[in-house]
Amino acid sequence: MKKLVALFSLLLFVFIAACSDDEITPQERFDKYVNLWNDQAFSKMHDMITSNASEKYPAEAFTDRYKKIYNDLGISDLKVTYEKLSDETIEKAMEKGTAQFPFTVKMNSVAGPINFDNKATLIKEGEEDKENWFVKWDPGFIFPQIKDGGDIGLTVTEPERGEILDRNRMPLALNTIVKEIGIQPGKLGDNPEKTKQKIADLLDITVETIDKQLNKDWVGPNMHVPLKKVRKQKKDLLAQLRGMEAITERDKTARDYPLGEAAAHLTGYIGKITAEEMEELDSDAYDANDMIGKRGLELLYEDRLKGSQGVTITAVGENGDETVIAEKPVKDGENVVTTIDAGVQETIYNAYEDDAGTAAAIHPKTGETLALVSAPSFDPNEWVFGISQSKYDQIQNNPKRPLLNRFTATFSPGSAMKPVSAAIGLHNGSIVPGEGIEINGLTWSNSEDWGNYQVRRVSESDGPVDVTDALIRSDNIYFAKKAVEMGSEKFVKGLKQFGFGEELPFAYGVENSSVSSSGTINREVLLADTAYGQGEIQVSALHLALSYTPFLNDGNMLKPVLLADTETSQVWKKDLLSEKQATVIRGALRDVVASPKGTARGAQKANLPIAGKTGTAELKQSGDDNGAENGWFVGYPADKQDILIAMMIENTGDKGGSGYTVNKVTDILQADN
């Protein structure tokens, strides 16, 4: 009997021990809750809170609040950890039916990292056979600051976009106050349609645009309904608008481009971000209402100009008091200071008047870019303030293509290329200073293989032609003969040493200059034509301007500079010719103007000595064509050498050819000095 009693007692102990082992501890329960929290499984978290908390904070409200706050605040990298209890503490907690766990929450948000410590109380609830541990939850689990009520506030401060400035800190793009013109529906008068039509005509918008604004849900009779922003400079327009009773206005900040058309292709403009751009860009850095750079410097330096939003997360008490939870200060965009000279930019653009073309102005001793011009152009302010469809169609259909950025494109340089050909010949020994060759007549053909094709020159020579005379009179035959003599391999090598076929080391993307459509010269006629700037050779205005810098820098070509904080006078291509050879070409470029035989003698009218080279690029499909002509002149003050302009004007054939461009550049150089 004693053995039987002992056996029964042992079985009872094992049974009780087994039951004890199966009982869930508060630590196991909170560990599960923390894992759900880290997974942001809010609905399942609600299943684990006490009955009182569940009654006070129903499942849907609990889940929605968590989701909304976490979404609005951009919560990421959530990590909840807790301090584990000792076995002794757990045993006491199980006896009392309550346990406390210190925990730490770490997360990232739109306002930066957020960390806080708190304590969770777990209570045993339920009937004996269904008892379990539940979290005594309150809003302090979201953020301690709202434990006793209140809500979470999010304040966003927009950054001020950086300005684009010229070398003298004059604005090329700035933020300014403009007038937002609106309409007050209740004051449209007895004939609202007539009033709307008049407003539409003044603002260059449609009545449909006005009606679309007036039909929005929030519009009331006494409200300001915005229609269009207008620059303060348009005083006459503003005066007419202010004379109408229905018109209202508000001050708004907007982007302004003081040079307008003169620098449109350079500065570009900003516009509202598109859905496609949102996908391509960092979605954390932009929202759907942001304005971003669309082209030009605004696009190129978007990351520097845009800045970053300031964000403040606050706990707002029921009495309205605010406590900061996290804060990221606003960071305004950087100002971008360029090497551009606004005065030079505007002077060159205005010189085009109704002509089309492109120009690049540089400081030939430093490589600083002073102007990049494309004409005709458009007013970037119209893109910012809202361009009408009719105005856009007018620009789009203009045969002179004002939307085309010509300073990033390449063109046939004509005889403006001859100084480069001369430098190549001098460097490889094919041309010797002072050594002349006999050329008879106005035409030349090297062999019967050329068929009927002949190279033509403008004027006959009095005797042997050397490199100086050839540059002064712009002798096509001299350069054609010298190129054929040196051969395509040497000539193409020389062009590549001048950067042809290579990306220009310049912040603003410019099309690569090219030797030919294939990158090689495999025909003798093409070689001859290329030497005097015809054939298939293409060059940008900026590259052509840079190609003259070796003549002023002892044979070294400078690297172009666009930003004021960039080191200047950096060498891009070294030792393209010797100092002595550079002197030969420099002297010839002065004589192109100073000599009675010079093709740029029209520049003698200037009150300063000018040097340079003309070029007439014939745009024709064959030698028998009478195609259009583009007139080039690359010129600089021979003494000061502080500015060099490469200017091309389209269709100068009936205006005096390159002489027309010479006059333009001469006037610009005089205005600058």
At which of 87, 122, 145 does a domain end?
A: 145
Q: Which two tokens stand for residue 444?
A: 């030349």
Domain-located, residue 491: yes
Q: Residue 624: what pLDDT?
A: 52
Q: Residue 596: what pLDDT?
A: 95
Tell how strand 336-337 and strand 164-165 pair up: parallel
Cα maximum dimension of the chain: 147
Domain-located, residue 475: yes
Residue 285, helix vs strand vs coil: coil
Catalytic choice (412, 415, 595, 658): 415
- CA neighbor of 584 nearest in space, from 463, 414, 470, 438: 470
Which residues, listed in sequence order, are joined to residue 230 by a DSSP beta bridge? Answer: 179
Q: Residue 22: what pLDDT?
A: 64
CATH number, domain containing residue 93: 3.10.450.100
Domain-located, residue 168: no
Domain-located, residue 290: no
Which portions of the chain are predicted below pLDDT 70? 1-22, 283-284, 620-627
Domain-located, residue 370: no
Domain-located, residue 573: yes
CATH number, domain containing residue 509: 3.40.710.10
Which phi and psi angles does 452 have, rounded to 5°?
A: -90, 0
Domain range for residue 102?
A: 23-145
At which of 108, 130, 145 does a domain end?
A: 145
Q: What is the DSSP code string of 456-503?
A: E-SS--SS-B-HHHHHHHT-HHHHHHHHHHH-HHHHHHHHHHTTTTS-
At which of 112, 145, 178 does a domain end?
A: 145
The residue whose two tokens read 């458009």 is 378
Distance CA 45, CA 34 (A): 9
Domain count, the chain: 2
Report the predicted TM-score, pTM, of the whole model to 2 decimal places.
Answer: 0.85
Q: Residue 388: what pLDDT?
A: 80
pLDDT one-digit tens code per residue, 311-365: 999 999 888 889 999 999 999 999 999 999 999 999 999 999 999 999 999 999 9
Q: Residue 626: what pLDDT?
A: 60
412 is catalytic: no
Distance CA 586, CA 594 (A): 12
